[in-house]
């Protein structure tokens, strides 16, 4: 394993930071929080033109053919500025299509996903709130040569602006057996999207209802009743992507807290000179660096598809969830009264930390997975 970034990766980081700091300051983030769409279509086109959506997509489909380590570099910068966009979900939709869709569907969808001309999302969570295969109970009953989907999915990111989604439904059996994945257009008859009110307004979530939605064999991703393997692989990559974004946000919160501790004076001294504050900042740094190390290791494992890639993804998500939550909470405390105000940006990072923590399972859930995978 190479513990350093290549020159090309550092250039990618600098170009991503330069673009995002210019195009997505917190003033823009706040405007997008009030925008029903929740993202900037013009900025979406710009990052599509730079090839970000297709970084890990094979070149034959219009992607860059790079690695998850390269994608991690970009996602850290996305997390630093709290970019409101359907970026992660579109990349995950593309992963599902690449791994299981028919050759015809791959040729039709992947080039458009690589440029951002299509927006995708992932619909697998249900009202039970379970993250594992047992939580997928929405039926997909067979009717002739088709499937009929009935039920609902919750906390579906950016469903209100997506063009298509991966839907996980149960067509037979229990547990990991009997789950079928479908690629469904949002405009298909019987699909309705209900926006949800959430604490983190930088990330739009919706409930998606299915009323006798018909799906054909061409809509199936992978083999019928064998969809959990593909979905689990997509979720692992979602954990990594979320962890990378969280590391970027935690790093920014740490920097904001340290900068404030240097200039805010109390009793004639900068508050950073007091042990209570300096020790807190040191602990924040340990949290952030530990989460980054776990995330980079997971990126390497998923890039090389090692046997312990799922383990690495779970460790990264757990570490980043803890680090982002603790770092933003401490950063609010270091800022004192101003840190609790609407006008200050720190609460935006705190809320993003809380919403990101529960995506793909919180730290407790992922630590339980780690324990199971190593036989504890």
State how many domains the chain has: 3
Q: What is the pTM of this model?
A: 0.96
Q: What is the CATH number of the domain that holds 55?
A: 1.10.540.10
Query: Are the CB atoms for 20 and 249 separated by under 8 Å?
Result: no
Segment holding 122, helix H or strand E: strand 120-123
CB proximity list for 330: less than 8 A, separation 6 or greater? 257, 280, 283, 284
CB neighbour burial string for 55-71, b if at least 16 within 10 angstroms, e if fewer = bbbeeebbbbebbbbbb
Q: Provide the domain limits for residue 278.
A: 229-373
State how far the Cα of 114 lies from the Cα of 134, in Å rounded to an integer.
32
Q: How far is CA 165 from the centre of its chain?
A: 15
CA 269, 274, 280, 283 dihedral sign is: positive
State how far the Cα of 14 lies from the Cα of 8, in Å rounded to an integer.
10
Q: Is residue 215 part of a domain?
A: yes
Residue 140, strand partner residues = 149
**Domain boundary residue among 226, 244, 260?**
226
**Domain boundary residue among 226, 252, 274?**
226
Query: Are the CB atoms for 65 and 58 separated by under 8 Å?
Result: yes
Say if residue 37 is in the same domain as residue 103. yes
Cα–Cα distances (Å) from 197 to 159, 205, 344, in that order, read: 14, 8, 22
**Domain boundary residue among 94, 115, 136?**
115
CA 136, 198, 349, 340 dihedral sign is: negative
Torsion region of 238: left, alpha or beta (phi above 0 gives left; psi -120 to 50 gives alpha): alpha
CB neighbour burial string for 214-238, b if at least 16 within 10 angstroms, e if fewer = ebeeebbbbebbbbbebbebbbbbb
Q: What is the pLDDT along the chain (376 residues), one digit of tens a residue?
A: 566 899 999 999 999 999 999 999 999 999 999 999 999 999 999 999 999 999 999 999 999 999 999 999 999 999 999 999 999 999 999 999 999 999 999 999 999 999 999 999 999 999 998 889 999 999 999 998 899 999 999 999 999 999 999 999 999 988 899 999 999 999 999 999 999 999 999 999 999 999 999 999 999 999 999 999 999 999 999 999 999 999 999 999 999 999 999 999 889 898 898 999 999 999 999 999 999 999 999 999 999 999 999 999 999 999 999 999 999 999 999 999 898 899 999 999 999 999 999 999 999 999 999 999 999 8
Q: How far is CA 90 from the centre of its chain?
A: 10
């Amino acid at each position: 394993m190479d513990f350093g970034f290549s020159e090309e990766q550092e250039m990618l980081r600098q170009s991503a930071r330069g673009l995002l700091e210019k195009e997505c300051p917190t003033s823009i983030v706040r405007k997008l929080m009030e925008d029903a769409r929740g993202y900037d279509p013009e900025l979406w086109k710009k990052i599509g033109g730079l090839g970000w959506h297709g970084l890990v997509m094979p070149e034959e489909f219009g992607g860059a053919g790079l690695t998850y380590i390269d994608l991690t570099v970009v996602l850290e910068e996305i997390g630093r500025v709290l970019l409101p966009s359907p970026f992660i979900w579109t990349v995950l939709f593309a992963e599902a299509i690449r791994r299981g869709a028919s050759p015809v569907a791959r040729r039709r969808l992947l080039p458009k996903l690589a440029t951002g001309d299509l927006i995708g999302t992932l619909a697998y969570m249900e009202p039970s709130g379970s993250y594992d295969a047992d939580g997928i109970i929405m039926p997909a009953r067979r009717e002739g040569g088709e499937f009929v989907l009935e039920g609902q999915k919750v906390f579906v990111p950016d469903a209100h602006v997506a063009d298509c989604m991966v839907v996980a439904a149960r067509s037979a059996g229990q547990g990991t057996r009997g789950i079928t994945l479908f690629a469904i257009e949002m405009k298909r008859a019987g699909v309705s999207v209900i926006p949800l009110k959430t604490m983190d307004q930088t990330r739009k979530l919706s409930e998606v209802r299915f009323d006798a939605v018909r799906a054909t064999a061409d809509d199936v991703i992978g083999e019928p009743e064998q969809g959990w393997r593909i979905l689990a692989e997509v979720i692992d990559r979602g954990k990594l992507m979320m962890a990378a974004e969280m590391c970027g946000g935690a790093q920014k919160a740490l920097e904001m807290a340290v900068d404030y501790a240097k200039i805010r004076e109390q009793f004639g001294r900068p508050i950073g000179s007091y042990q209570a504050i300096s020790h807190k900042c040191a602990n924040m740094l340990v949290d952030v660096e530990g989460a980054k190390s776990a995330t980079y290791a997971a990126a390497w494992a998923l890039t090389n598809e090692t046997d312990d890639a799922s383990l690495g993804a779970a460790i990264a998500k757990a570490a980043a969830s803890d680090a982002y939550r603790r770092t933003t909470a401490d950063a609010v405390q270091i800022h004192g009264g101003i840190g609790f105000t609407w006008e200050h940006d720190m609460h935006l990072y705190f809320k993003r930390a809380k919403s990101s923590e529960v995506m793909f399972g919180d730290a407790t859930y992922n630590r339980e997975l780690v324990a199971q995978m190593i036989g504890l």
